[in-house]
C-alpha cells in the first residue's frame, strides 16, 4: 500500500516535472560585453534576471557574453535557435544584420533586436530614448563646466550615439553659449584601457566634464584620478563613483520590457513591434543627482526631466540648424522619429565631422 502510494506520487511528480519542462519558455540573450562590465551589458543581464524572477520555473534563460558584432554573432544566435530558444534578445546595434539573417532561417523563433531599425515578421526592434537622458546631462554639464570644454567619448558613429551627442550639445549650449564639445571616437563598446586613455586625453586638453557612450567605468576612474572633473554614469548607475566624479547617470531599465515580451510569447500574443520608450515609460532612468551639483541646477535638471517625461517638451525642439547651417527644425517644430532613427549629422555649433 505504502509502496504503491509512494510510486504513484513519484510518477505524479515525474509527470509534473516533464510537463513543466515541455512548457518552459526558453529565452536567449546575446551580449556584446561581459555581464560584469558595470554598464550596458550589466543592465541587460539585470533584465534577464528580472524575467527569471517574474516567471520562475516557467522560463529558462540562457546567455552568451562578449559576442563580437559580426559573423560570430550569427553562429551564436543559430546555436541558440537550434537548442530550442523561443525568443532571442540580441542586445547591440551591430547584431542587426545577423539577427535578420538568422531570423529568416528560423521563422518560428521570435527575435528582439535592441537599438536597430530593421524589422521583420519575427523580428521586433526596441530601444530607449537615451537622448532624453542626454538632454538632462547636457543641461547639468553646460552649467558645471568651468573650462567650457566638454569631452565626449563616442563608441561608433551610429545614429544612437550621434543623437546623444546632439541632444547633449543642444542642452549644454542652451544654458552656456560658450560651451565647446571635444569628441573622440574609441571604435569600441568595451575596452577599459582605451576608454581610460580617451578620457585622459580629453582631460589633458582641458575638458572638465566627460560624457561617455562606451560601456565600462574606466572613464569614471580616470576622471576621479584627475580630480576636478565630473562624469555621468552610462547605461548603469555607476553609483560607486558618486558623488564625485559621477554626478548623475542614465540608467537603462530593460526589465519591464523583457518581462512583457517573454509574457507575450508565453500566451501566444507576441507580434513584431517597434518600441522606442523614454523617460516617461521608465525605460530611461536618471540616476540620483549628487550633492556635487548646486541645488538650483539640480532643481532645473529635474524640471527638465519631468517635462521630457510627461511629453510637454521634446529634446529636439526647433529652431535647430544642421552643422552646415541649413535649417532642420523650424521654431517650435519637433523632430520626427524617422529622422532621429537615422540621424547622421551634427547640429550647428559642433566642431568636426561625423565619420562616415
Partner 1 sequence: MDLSAINPVLLIASLMVAATPLLLAAVGELVVERAGVLNLGVEGMMIVGAIGGFAVSVESGSPYLGLVAAMAAGAGLSLLFAFLTQFALANQVASGLALTLFGLGLSALMGQGYVGIKPPALGNIHIPVLSDLPVIGPILFGHDPVLYIGIALVAAVWAVLKYSRIGLVLRAVGENHEAAHALGYNVIRVRVLAIMFGGACAGLGGAYISLIRVPQWTEGMTAGIGWIALALVVFASWKPWRVLLGAYLFGGINVLQLNLQAAGIAIPVEYLAMSPYIITILVLVIMSADKSRAPASLGRIFHASQ
Q: Which residues bind partner 1 (CB under 8 A)?
A: 33-38, 66, 151, 157, 182-185, 187-188, 190-194, 196-198, 200-202, 204-207, 216-218, 221-222, 224-225, 240, 351-353, 355-356
- In angstroms, the Cα distances linking 299 to 135, 213, 239, 244, 347 are 15, 25, 20, 18, 27
Q: How far apart are CA 16 and CA 100, in angstroms?
A: 37
Task: Name the minimum Å distance from CB 35 to partner 1.
Answer: 7
List strands edge to edge, sheet with 209-212.
180-185, 149-154, 209-212, 230-233, 246-252, 284-287
Q: How near is the Cβ of 290 to partner 1 at its closest, in Å?
A: 16
Q: Does the N-terminal peptide bond of residue 74 adopt cis geometry, omega within 30 degrees of 0?
A: no
To the nearest whole angstrom, how small is the minimum distance from the Cβ of residue 239 to partner 1? 9
Of 204 and 337, which CB lies nearer to partner 1 in the complex structure? 204
- Work out how close the CB of 182 gets to partner 1 at its nearest, in angstroms, rounded to a whole number: 5
Give the cell for residue 310.
Answer: 510627461
Instruction: Say if residues 127 and 114 touch (Cβ distance below 8 Å).
Output: yes
Nearer to partner 1, 66 or 228 (CB): 66
Judged by CB, which is closer to partner 1: 64, or 259? 64
Which residue number, 188 or 339, has a Cβ lying nearer to partner 1?
Answer: 188
- Cβ 66 to partner 1 shortest distance, Å: 6
Are 288 and 226 a contacting pair, CB within 8 Å? no
Q: Least separation, in Å, of the C-beta of 177 and partner 1?
A: 19
- Do 257 and 274 contact (CB within 8 A), yes or no? no
Nearer to partner 1, 72 or 240 (CB): 240
Phi, psi (deg, nearest 5) at residue 332: 85, -10
Q: Which is nearer to partner 1, 238 or 335 (CB)?
A: 238
Least distance in angstroms from the C-beta of 241 to partner 1? 8
Q: How far is the CB of 193 from partner 1 (least distance, A)?
A: 5
> DSSP letters along 227-288, please?
SS-EEEE-SS--GGGTTTTEEEEEEE--HHHHHHHHHHHHTT-----EEEE-TTTTSEEEEP
Cα angle value 154/120/156 (rounded, 5°): 10
Rounded distance, CA 117 to CA 123, Å? 10
In the complex with partner 1, which residue's Cβ is closer, 20 or 187? 187
Strand bridging mode 230-233 / 246-252: parallel
Strands 180-185, 149-154: pairing kind: parallel
Q: Between the CA atoms of 222, 226, 230 and 234, what dihedral angle is there, to the nearest 10 degrees?
A: 0
Nearer Cβ to partner 1, position 218 or 304?
Answer: 218
Amino acid at each position: 500500500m505504502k509502496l504503491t502510494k509512494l510510486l504513484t506520487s513519484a510518477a505524479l511528480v515525474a509527470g509534473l516535472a516533464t510537463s513543466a519542462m515541455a512548457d518552459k519558455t526558453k529565452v536567449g540573450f546575446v551580449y556584446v560585453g561581459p555581464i560584469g562590465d558595470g554598464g550596458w551589458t550589466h543592465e541587460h543581464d539585470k533584465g534577464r534576471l528580472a524575467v527569471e524572477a517574474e516567471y520562475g520555473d516557467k522560463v529558462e534563460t540562457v546567455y552568451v557574453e562578449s559576442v563580437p558584432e559580426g559573423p560570430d554573432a550569427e553562429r551564436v544566435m543559430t546555436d541558440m535557435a537550434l537548442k530550442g530558444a523561443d525568443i532571442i534578445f540580441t542586445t547591440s546595434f551591430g547584431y542587426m544584420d545577423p539577427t535578420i539573417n538568422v531570423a529568416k532561417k528560423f521563422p518560428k523563433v521570435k527575435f528582439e533586436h535592441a537599438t536597430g531599425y530593421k524589422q521583420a515578421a519575427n523580428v521586433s526592434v526596441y530601444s530607449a530614448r537615451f537622448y532624453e537622458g542626454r538632454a538632462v546631462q547636457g543641461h547639468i554639464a553646460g552649467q558645471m563646466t568651468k573650462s567650457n570644454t566638454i569631452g565626449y567619448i563616442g563608441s561608433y558613429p551610429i545614429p544612437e550615439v550621434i543623437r546623444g551627442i546632439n541632444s547633449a550639445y543642444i542642452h549644454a549650449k542652451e544654458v552656456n553659449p560658450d560651451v565647446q564639445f571635444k569628441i573622440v571616437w574609441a571604435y569600441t563598446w568595451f575596452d577599459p584601457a582605451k576608454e581610460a586613455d580617451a578620457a585622459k586625453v580629453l582631460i589633458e586638453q582641458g575638458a572638465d566634464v566627460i560624457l561617455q557612450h562606451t560601456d565600462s567605468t574606466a572613464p569614471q576612474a580616470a576622471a576621479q584620478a584627475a580630480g576636478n572633473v565630473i562624469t555621468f554614469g552610462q547605461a548603469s548607475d555607476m553609483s560607486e563613483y558618486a558623488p564625485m566624479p559621477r554626478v548623475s547617470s542614465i540608467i537603462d531599465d530593460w526589465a519591464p520590457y523583457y518581462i512583457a515580451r517573454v509574457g507575450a510569447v508565453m500566451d501566444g500574443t507576441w507580434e513584431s513591434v517597434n518600441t522606442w520608450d523614454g523617460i516617461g515609460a521608465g525605460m530611461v532612468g536618471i540616476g540620483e543627482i549628487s550633492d556635487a551639483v548646486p541645488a538650483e541646477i539640480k532643481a532645473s535638471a529635474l524640471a527638465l526631466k519631468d517635462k521630457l517625461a510627461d511629453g510637454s517638451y521634446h529634446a529636439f525642439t526647433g529652431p535647430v540648424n544642421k552643422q552646415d547651417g541649413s535649417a532642420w527644425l523650424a521654431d517650435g517644430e519637433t523632430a520626427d522619429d524617422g529622422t532621429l532613427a537615422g540621424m547622421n549629422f551634427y547640429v550647428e555649433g559642433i566642431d568636426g565631422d561625423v565619420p562616415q
